[in-house]
Chain A
Amino acid sequence: MSQQSLTTTPASPSGAGGGGALPRGSRFGAERAFRILATAAGSTVLVIIVAIAAFLIAKAIPSLRADSENFLTFKDWFANESPPTFGIAALAFGTVVTSALALIMAVPVALGIALCLTHYAHRRVASTLGFFIDLLAAVPSVVFGLWGRDYFRGPVSDLSTFLHDNFGWIPIFGSKGPYGASILLGSIVLAIMVLPIVTSLSREVFLQTPKHNEEAALALGATRWEMIRTAVLPYGKPGIIAAVMLGLGRALGETIALALTLGAVYNVSFDLLGISGNTIAANIALKFAEANPTGRSALIASGLVLFAITLVVNVTARAIVYRRREFLGGAA
């Protein structure tokens, strides 16, 4: 293009490119509106969390004042009596133990399934299997609870007998029976419920592993499992921790399935087989209908403790991820 034609090109009337004064930015344009919307959406989370915490604290205080036992160490729950005596010890213990057991059972299986889906199975098999995993996540928890109570109790009782006969010298399998609504039953049902969440999330995480890192491991002479250990698992660690935390979130808050499968006994015991176990959420579901005002307030106080447990768990997980951030290559 010659100099001549450049100078004779007329400035575009819209002001886009070409000559003329630069157009003014609109002070209340779409850009600004979107920023305000996004900020508002972001702060909603904080508002909701603070509102829940404030609600729980305000409603819990009357019953905590009325409680004639130590709320943190007392095990039983007689919140409707006068004077009311109730404590969170057994419930908090049961909540943490059933959730932990469920995760111990579910996480290795879930990671195994996820690795199989992403790195071993044929693509078509993987997508079919993935579909069924997602379907499992869609089953309502009351169905799991009823199934656990009415059908799964038999096999778990048999398993309990087997465990006691062969490993009875380990205190957790010490109970001579009767078996049935036990921590073992509750945590196995819970494990099945947590499994699909942890599986789908860790599957997504494993798919994110950069191909060039996997190839680097293979080119060093790694077998497939060694490649997974060298490239996939370390890279996915923050994601796996997040997946486990979301699974734990579901386990800690699970209500109806555990109300149906646990023994609803207020005790602190590592005996997994005998009729035992109760959790904060299950207790709220079981007691709420019959609770008087103090009883309700006491249940809300127990909810506050559950809220605090969840908070501690999440902060801990964040801290673990944060401590190794330099080595996470943008994955965190």
Chain B
Amino acid sequence: MAKRIEAVNVSAYYGAFRAIDNISMTIEPKSVTALIGPSGCGKSTFLRSINRMHEVLPGAKVEGQLLIDGQNIYDRDIDVTAVRRTIGMVFQRPNPFPTMSIYDNVVAGLRLNGVRKKSLLDAACEKALRGANLWNEVKDRLNRPGAGLSGGQQQRLCIARAIAVEPQVVLMDEPCSALDPISTLAIEDLIAELKNEYTIVIVTHNMQQAARVSDRTGFFSIDKTGEPGRLIEYDDTAKIFTNPSVKRTEDYITGRFG
């Protein structure tokens, strides 16, 4: 259920602007990897290049190799929709489909894959909502609009929608930045459970969060505005937060910079 991600010299561009430069890192299966760093350092761009969502923006492109269990997702004959089904994503702002019920939101990905049988959809819906710790709160109102839930519930709904298609990897782009502390805690508990089945990569601005939820942490930074973001240090979370090898990492996590 979980796959290893290897980035080899990944650079990403917005038009002519190079947003990240030569990122190489290996992300182990069934682990939580946090990407931290100041705003504009390219951590979200890198995250979006892992499931080929970066190229959705006009003029954006990616260079280098990104291997999922040894297979380069940027190979020419790769089906990009299959990549995104294998590597799910949760966004910064909860974004359930506003026109759909809770149920329809959860099974949207399965329906896109051609699953039509009611019994299969029902089972997958319950499994995903239980997996996202949302089942008990919404089981009696599955046909209500998804947009009517609270922010934290909406974000868990989005997580349920992402895991309903049983991806190998779940990418999270600052999933708690729009949520209150209690909802944040619920999501963090969920991340700890999800890592038993999925490879998780999470971008966060919150260093305590990175320290709490992740096994390994990558620190991204830029030299100055207009320069591409680089991976400064990548190591076990405990080491990054207690004894980083690079001075810049230490400056950042102790608050002297960024």
In the bound complex, what is the Cα–Cα distance between A222 and B79 (angstroms)? 11
With most chain A CB atoms within 10 A of its CB, the pick from B113, B144, B145, B161 is: B145
In the bound complex, what is the Cα–Cα distance between A330 and B98 (angstroms)? 9
Q: Are B98 and A215 in contact (CB under 8 A)?
A: no
Whole-angstrom distance from the CB of A322 to the nearest CB of chain B?
15
The stretch that binds B, out of A38-46, A228-236, A282-290, is A228-236
Chain A 190-222 interface mask (CB, 8 Å, partner B; 1/0)? 000000000000000000001011011111111
Nearest CB in chain B to that of A221: its residue: B85
Chain A residues near B145 (CB, 8 Å)? 326-327, 329
Whole-angstrom distance from the CB of A120 to the nearest CB of chain B?
13
Chain B residues near A230 (CB, 8 Å)? 97, 108, 112
Chain A interface helix/strand/loop/mixed: helix
In the bound complex, what is the Cα–Cα distance between A163 and B238 (angstroms)? 77
Chain B residues near A235 (CB, 8 Å)? 97-99
Chain A 217-247 interface mask (CB, 8 Å, partner B; 1/0)? 1111111001000110011010000000000
Known: A230-B108, A326-B145. A218 touches B84 (CB 8 A): yes
Chain A residues near B158 (CB, 8 Å)? 216
Q: Is A328 interfacial (CB 8 A cutoff)?
A: yes
Q: Which of B53, B81, B89, B161 contacts A223 (CB 8 A)?
A: B81
Q: Are B81 and A329 in contact (CB under 8 A)?
A: no
Known: A216-B97, A327-B145, A328-B99. A221 touches B113 (CB 8 A): yes
Q: Are B108 and A329 in contact (CB under 8 A)?
A: no
Q: Are B91 and A212 in contact (CB under 8 A)?
A: yes
Q: Are A226 and B95 in contact (CB under 8 A)?
A: no
Chain A residues near B85 (CB, 8 Å)? 220-221
Interface size counted on chain A using CB atoms at 8 A: 26
Q: Are B99 and A234 in contact (CB under 8 A)?
A: yes
Q: Which of A215, A221, A226, A326 contacts B56 (CB 8 A)?
A: A215
Q: Are A220 and B161 in contact (CB under 8 A)?
A: yes
In the bound complex, what is the Cα–Cα distance between A219 and B112 (angstroms)? 11
Chain A residues near B81 (CB, 8 Å)? 221-223
Chain B residues near A216 (CB, 8 Å)? 91, 95-97, 158, 161
Q: Is A32 interfacial (CB 8 A cutoff)?
A: no
Chain A 289-332 interface mask (CB, 8 Å, partner B; 1/0)? 00000000000000000000000000000000000101111110
Chain A residues near B113 (CB, 8 Å)? 221
Chain B residues near A331 (CB, 8 Å)? 98
Whole-angstrom distance from the CB of B66 to the nearest CB of chain A?
16
Chain B residues near A217 (CB, 8 Å)? 97, 108, 112
Whole-angstrom distance from the CB of B228 to the nearest CB of chain A?
23
Nearest CB in chain B to that of A216: its residue: B95
Chain A residues near B96 (CB, 8 Å)? 216
Chain B 210-243 interface mask (CB, 8 Å, partner A; 1/0)? 0000000000000000000000000000000000
For the A-B complex with A234-B97, A328-B98 known, give 5 more contacts whose Cβ atoms are closer than 8 Å: A220-B84, A220-B85, A226-B112, A237-B99, A329-B145
